[in-house]
Amino acid sequence: MKKLLLDTDVIFAAENGEDRDAAALIETCRSGDEFQAWTLATTPLHLIESGMSPDRIESALQSVSQIPINASLNSKAFESGLEFDAGLLMAAAETFKIPFIISNRYAQADHSGFLSCNQLLNGKHNELTDKVDFLNLNFPLHAIFDEVDGRFMDIIQNTAFAGGNHVDLFEKEFSEFCGVSYTIGLSNGTDALRFALLAMGIGPGDEVITVPNTFIATSEVISQVGAVPVFVDCLDGLYTIDPDLIENRITDKTKAIVPVHLYGQVVNMDRIMEIADKYNLLVLEDACQAHGAIYNGRHAGSVGHAGAFSMYPGKNLGAFGEAGCLITNDRTINDTVRCLRDHGQSQKYYHRMEGYNGRMDNLQGAVLRSKLVYLNEWNCKRRQVAKWYADLLSTVDEVVLPEVPDYSAHSFHLFVVLVPDPQALSGHLKEHQIFTGFHYPVPLHLQEAYQDHAQSGETFPVAESCAQRLISLPMFPELNKEQVQRVCDEIARFYSRKSC
């Protein structure tokens, strides 16, 4: 049943016979089959002021629930920048999670978010409800807005922007969350990877093993510290590095392995650490898509010598801009990265080394602290969404679902499936207001940036095959089962039509 918030003008027009659409809408609301109607508690007063009798008002509001007006709603209405009544309707709809505001006067004034009675009855609301975003960053803000707003005001009033108390507290809280000794707040996930390699002593002439099916940040930092990225193919169905292929790539120049926990799926870290111990290699976990993912009871990023995270806004734990961090149990890595992020300073104007400007902003630390409290809950919701997808798509033969081994709790930063024709499927879904993504359509060894790489002529059959067939379906914690059902129904419909 769809929730509606009715403006006073709709009820007035319906009761006075001035608008057939309004009268039809009110009658539909009375039946209770399709719509659940709400109005503001001030509506009866406005109707009395318009000259309507109490009996008629009682009759008009018989099937309409009333929303109480409080100081918070009034404040949001004043801050909205809209006419006060319009702002009050918007604030009430947001607070009580009512998706449709029905108001002829504000719809005619082209206020975004308002529908007229005619638009509603002619199905305009279906266009809005049927849309399934690939990612929606607005929903998580409701839980943290007031807290973040207060923290931002505190930061602004104290002009504590670069580094600061919230960065320090986030570092402490994220260390506790991941079960590690140290967290270093940084400006982005790329710096986290780069600084870790530098702190590990990786440099010119060294080789670092990683995968070709990832974002270029993983490999570009290896090149940027002077080392050479050495690619190893991934596992079909898991999309993570194939441990059985690593040893064949190890030479006397190999110094480290960078396993990527792609899409939130954790690598088989026992095998990685076994190989690293055998050949005396360092392990830097690229956990930039795996916030809160679990490997055999341990958090992603906490098993190797260090773990790098990106807090880009779309991540499971995302900032309000660029941010990242590194976690480690190694004191030397911790101390070196702290120095590198601040121009190599051990204290102000005393430089142990040449460094970088890679500090986390205090504003981002404040946001991440507020969001961290909800990370486990949000990841659980992502897993539920993934289960719905898996159940509903299990009978569609053309769709290859991601595997989740027993050793991991996937964090489902992305829900990626393999299909024969991802571009055609994406186009079909877009026609039906369902939006998708592609992560990542060109493996690194086939990128122009690596045309002169020593492995540019090699093939990595699993990575290449997956890249040609992958499509990322909508995934965020607030997706409901009806939306997932619609996505899956359209996928099934697309392939059933093709087979006819």
What average pLDDT score do residues 284-292 get? Answer: 98
Count other Cβ atoms within 10 Å, centred on residue 471.
22
Check pLDDT > 90 for residue 416: yes
Residues 307 and 104: their CA atoms lie apart, in Å, by 55
CATH number at residue 474: 3.90.1150.10
Contacts of residue 287, Cβ cutoff 8 Å, sequence gap at least 6: 261, 293, 300, 301, 307, 308, 309
Structural domain includes residue 342: yes
Q: Is the dihedral of CA 136, 139, 141, 145 positive or negative?
A: positive
Structural domain includes residue 139: no
**Hunting for tokens 């020593």 — which residue is that?**
454
Contact of 362 with 162, CB cutoff 8 Å: yes
Check pLDDT > 80 for residue 32: no
**Hunting for tokens 């205090």 — which residue is that?**
362
The model's pLDDT over 381-395, given as tens digits with 9 standing for 90+, comes to 999 999 999 999 999
The H-or-E segment that residue 36 falls in is strand 35-40
The model's pLDDT over 167-186, given as tens digits with 9 standing for 90+, comes to 999 999 999 999 999 999 99
Residues 93 and 95: their CA atoms lie apart, in Å, by 6
Contact of 193 with 225, CB cutoff 8 Å: no
Helices (H), 238-374: 269-279, 331-340, 362-372
Q: Are strands 35-40 and 207-210 parallel, antiparallel or unpaired?
A: unpaired
Residues 359 and 447 in one domain: no
Q: Of 35, 48, 45, 47, which is closest to residue 10 (Cα–Cα)?
A: 47
Check pLDDT > 70 for residue 500: no
CATH number at residue 118: 3.40.50.1010
Residues 435 and 323 in one domain: no
Residues 184 and 319 in one domain: yes
Structural domain includes residue 408: yes
The pLDDT of residue 111: 62
Q: Which residue has the higher pLDDT, 39 or 210?
A: 210
Check pLDDT > 60 for residue 144: yes
The pLDDT of residue 174: 98
The pLDDT of residue 195: 98
Query: Tokens at residue 107, please?
Result: 């719809």
pLDDT tier for residue 38 given thresholds of 50, 70 and 90 = confident
E strand intervals along 64-206: 64-67, 100-102, 114-115, 182-186
The model's pLDDT over 348-378, given as tens digits with 9 standing for 90+, comes to 999 999 999 999 999 999 999 999 999 999 9
End of a domain among 342, 372, 402? 372
Residues 209 and 335 in one domain: yes
Residues 360 and 412 in one domain: no
Query: Tokens at residue 205, please?
Result: 């002439």
**Hunting for tokens 């806004």 — which residue is that?**
313
Q: Which of 106-115, 124-133, 444-453, 485-494 has the least mean pLDDT? A: 124-133
Structural domain includes residue 138: no
DSSP class per residue in 2-13: EEEEE-HHHHHH
Contact of 351 with 325, CB cutoff 8 Å: no
The total number of structural domains in the chain stands at: 3
Residues 207 and 323 in one domain: yes
Contact of 161 with 362, CB cutoff 8 Å: yes
What average pLDDT score do residues 86-111 get? Answer: 83
Contact of 491 with 407, CB cutoff 8 Å: no
Residues 402 and 310 in one domain: no
What letter represents residue 268's amino acid? N
Residues 183 and 189: their CA atoms lie apart, in Å, by 13
End of a domain among 337, 372, 407? 372
Contact of 75 with 92, CB cutoff 8 Å: no
CATH number at residue 251: 3.40.640.10
End of a domain among 343, 372, 401? 372
Domain region containing 269: 160-372
The model's pLDDT over 301-339, given as tens digits with 9 standing for 90+, comes to 999 999 999 999 999 999 999 999 999 999 999 999 999
The pLDDT of residue 129: 54
The model's pLDDT over 213-272, given as tens digits with 9 standing for 90+, comes to 999 999 999 999 999 999 999 999 999 999 999 999 999 999 999 999 999 999 999 999
Residues 164 and 297 in one domain: yes
CA distances to 32, 81, 92, 355, 453 from 98, rounded to whole Å, are 16, 20, 8, 51, 55
The pLDDT of residue 125: 56
What letter represents residue 274's amino acid? E
Helices (H), 16-103: 20-31, 43-49, 54-60, 71-79, 84-95
Residues 309 and 417 in one domain: no
pLDDT tier for residue 126 given thresholds of 50, 70 and 90 = low
Residues 10 and 25: their CA atoms lie apart, in Å, by 9
The model's pLDDT over 66-97, given as tens digits with 9 standing for 90+, comes to 888 888 888 888 887 788 888 898 888 888 87
Q: Is 14 left (phi over 0), alpha (psi -120 to 50) or beta?
A: alpha
Q: Which of 198-207, 381-390, 449-458 has the least mean pLDDT? A: 449-458
Residues 368 and 447 in one domain: no
Contact of 254 with 218, CB cutoff 8 Å: no
Residues 197 and 299 in one domain: yes
Residues 394 and 418 in one domain: yes
Q: What is the mean pLDDT of the chain?
A: 92
